A and B are shown apart, each in its own frame.
Chain A
Amino acid sequence: MFDLIIRNGLICDGSGAPAFKGDVAVRDGKIAALGEVTGDAKQVIDAKGQVVAPGFIDPHTHFDAQLLWDGYAQPSLEHGITTIMSGNCSLSLAPLKAEHRDLLGATFRQIEEMPKAAFDAGFSWTWESFDDYIKAIKDGLGINVAPLVGHSLLRMWVMGAEESRNHAATPAEVKQMQNLLKQCLDAGSIGMSGSWVDIDHERHPVPARLAEHSELEALCETLGEHNAILQIVPEFWDADILRVRIDQLADLSRKYNISTTFSPLFDSNAWPNLVYLAMDRIRLQSAHGARVTPQMQIRPIDLSFDISQPNSTFATLPSWWATTILPVDEKRVKLKDPEFRKKLSADLEHFMQPIGLQIDFRDAYVKRMGKPDPKLMNRSMRDIAAERNCHFAEAIIDLALEHDFDISFGLDSIGHNNSPKIGQLMLDPLVGLGAGDGGAHVSNFATYGDTSLLFSEYVRKQHSLSLEYAVRKLTHDIAVVWNVKNRGLLRPGFAADIVIFDANTMDRGAEIPVDDLPASGWRYVRRNTGVSQVFVNGALAYDLDAGYSDKKAGAVTERVAA
């Protein structure tokens, strides 16, 4: 007797092999049989006309905080994702001493663009060690988690807040970091994350960036002893620097026998052959035994901005950034000052986007209003400025003032948006998929729905990938790169992480604001069409009709042994 049999589905087993019609049987949370299954089950599902595939794996998320109030990492599950990697970009929430919570919290919220109120209301800091953080999330998990430990956190723990942000580590401190990393890996961490680019809330490099290369080498030595991965975010917009980073990762990979991954591999409109230069280097390094997997984002770049708070759109616009952080009363006064308005207008007009995004603020449109006004919603600044006979920057400023800053503006598909080119790159076995940023940038843009978009855009519309290869890219390929044990394939003995979906309708929905953050906060999400059911470790986690289940069947994943 099986617990579950899914009958008559089109089985894409994650290997990329041709799909076939058949059944999948589950017992005790694991795949028990595959093909033509005889016998009975406690539950039988007819999946006729639908694809049955391994649950998708999302290798680049920042759900570390959200998991403490939402163990399903919504809405990831409804897009077919059954395993997420948290703790990317040198920032996890553990190990963390109590005296560093304010600093790390501010850093995390700044880089990942999350509201402080959600942190304050959403959870209590009950842990210091990585092991205790795992305990804090484990019982509430409805999705599987492969947590990274952040290099910045290791530095803060060993060196203290200020030392870690300003100084090189001594040999003794590096040794302590190695021991601490080992503890984290023993407690369930999948690997370590780093960053070569991120800056904190005080515009100061994150601690990981203060590490000398010898420190990174020492930590990679520890990763190698545990078959653990190194993830890092490089200067992805500059081909020369990126190729040096690829060389560095390749050297670390060969020397310490580790898998490495960087995110994102970004198709820059300012440097169209950047992705090819990067892939040529990766191909060369791979031919010499290195494991360096770039993560290519599936969706194009969308941005949102408002003047109520600092956001990444203004990261290279100092006058606008400085305006966002003013106290509200002072902000109102400054934004009415003609000279100040003139400066902001000039700065916006001469805005240069260093990473090759095609930003024209005239195309920005009214995306969200606290009190929606149909006469303004979705209209462009070009249109509104013409109607008001003002500069487009003044249209943004005046709309913000008129609506007490409770108004957001959107800029859609402004980079990484050449689908035929990106589809061809995805075909390359050396190109990984990921870099989605789930759980981050919550009021800037929706970081969800990439898995669904892969099927609608790159399987059905562009015909870049076969159905089977698309499934493989989201499952087995990621599990192999990340050393995730017994997931990513429909194989007897593997975890019963399963998604059932309609390949003809699978898609992401429109970006919509929802009020589901703690402390009455809001964020942008995208819903799914096409997924009917998702199982995590054999338990129904999401059903199109019934929604999210109350079962907490998620687990912290295991690594393949060294």
Chain B
Amino acid sequence: MSAVLSAKGLVMRFGGIVATNNVSIDLQKGARHALIGPNGAGKTTLVNILTGVLRPSEGNILLDGQDITGLAPHQRVQRGMVRTFQINQLFDSMTPLQTLALVVAQRRGLGGKWWQPVGSDAGVAARAGELLEQFRLAEVATQPTRQLAYGKRRLLEIAIALACEPRVLLLDEPVAGVPAGEREELLQTVAALPADVSVLLIEHDMDLVFSFANRMTVLVNGTLLTEGSPEEIAADPRVKEVYLGHGCGHDTPQGTDIQNG
């Protein structure tokens, strides 16, 4: 099986800081691949690099074997690489219906039409309606997004990504901040994604990660620590150390000049 998304040797430098240090990752077709690591490990930075928001200092990215390292974000979306954001990025003045109609129209190449009114394409409206139903947003479909409760906003965030008909989907902490009661809805939708969509999931919720993923990558301080199946990762002592910390044995010796640290 060849990788749908293949990133090699990605390095990201911000001034003197190396946020991403020679990271390579392959996403197989139909993958359920999780990216985990402690806070500040550079997971979101990696997603930003993959989607083109950041330009890497080194390395390249291949989508379906084609080099997309130089492409702008919207061009990558047009080729089927879609992401969600850790913090909801929505269109506050538009309603969920308008938002999804917009995304679907854009996906179908109708975003440039300037003479016909929105809603004249029945297919677009129908698909938007499907998504609204699927994500339980139908009741709030005509309310401005800024008035929606957080849980609904999060659902919309994911719905937007799906409306783009992704072939590669990068989910950045999809259940972050979602109240426990609404997590189930979200999890079920994530689990029900089409089998040929390749998903990269960034999450802290280990239950979700282990139930979802068939492959995991661990990122620490911008560097790839290890990669493997969930069983391998769960058994890896280094991973445990990263999450649980060292035992004892890191004390500063007496009389050390701390200022030279």
Partners in one complex: no
